[in-house]
Structure 1
Amino acid sequence: MYLRNSHTVAATLLIAISPATASRPCTQFSPSPVPVQHLSAYFLPQYGLHATALLDIEAIRHTLALYPYIIDGRDFPSLSSVFTADAIANYSVPIGVVNGLSAIESTLGAALASFLGTQHLLGSQSVRICDRNSAISVSYYRAVHFLPQNKTTGPGDVVTGDAVLYAYGQYQDSWEKRHGRWKINYRNLVYMVGDAWDPVS
């Protein structure tokens, strides 16, 4: 009897959704990138989220975690698990805006072809469920790109004799839930510091 009442109370607590009252509207999150000083206004704490919203957040985080595995493993066809077919991805300079899943796959494949390998690390991350079928998220990342010794080509014809290039930035993503699955419909890659590429010996 005690366990039954405990579950009932827990369920009741999760039913009430209390979105952060001062959060900026999700509709303003894309297509323009959000300056870092405004990000917190989109991801203020939310308390008492419904169990479904918590499950949706976990599903989005799991999908975000797939992205580095796919990119670093050069498994570009599996990007269909991350992006919608009509997704738009603004990868900033030097890649620019890419329209559609097939173009995202081929563009990333070509951009990374000259590297021996890459490692994408995700850091600070926030997810906000906007309604039943839309969400937004921001993920800090650091990407390491390994060049063959003395090779001088990389994305945007990077000229360097160094063996490693670092990129520091954020993935700002707008999500849609289609056929029960969350996928990115719009991505802005935002660099955190001046130059996109930081060569390191």
Structure 2
Amino acid sequence: MKIRLILAHPLQDSLNARLAAHVGARLRAMGHDLAVTDLYAEGFAPVLTASERARYYGAPFEDRAGLAGVEGLVLVFPTWWFGLPAILKGWIDRSFLPGVAYDHAPGGGAMVPRLTNLTRVMAITTLGAPWWYDRLIARRPVHKALKWGVIRPVAPRARFAMAALHRAETATEPRIAGFESRLSRRLTRHFS
């Protein structure tokens, strides 16, 4: 399977970087064709420019992110303020474009999906909040936004999964290792 892994954390020695390396090694061991993009290391510019927005309903954009042939997508990022880091939101804004991820329907109707090859998506995040606050109080806003607001409209056949390490700032080495072990099993199930 052709898979893209997107890492969105500014620190090269972060827990997110560690998790991305773990995920990458596991997916490669499973025999997948993996391409990794570290948005910060590559100096990705997340701002959708005025000229890009002005032609949003014009000619289709080029597929700069290489999404067209991708069958799997993995996003590794911290959850900040119960949302995506700005750089990852910007990557979505500048990659999931008309003519690439979807087409505008005539008359302003629902989007017409274009990422028909994308069949598996997994989001892996770390956050400081406890699980009960994320699930019971905030009601998993990042999960909802990614699954229903980003992936479903452009790749309706894609299976979406999310793994979250809560209270990440105080996670001990045994707890992180346990999360990585569970993550390996989930990757095997999700990308097999």
TM-score bin, normalised by smaller chain: under 0.3
Structure showing greater Rg:
1
Higher relative contact order (CA 8 A, sep 6+): 2
Higher strand share: 1
Q: Report the TM-score when normalising by structure 2.
A: 0.23
Higher helix share: 2
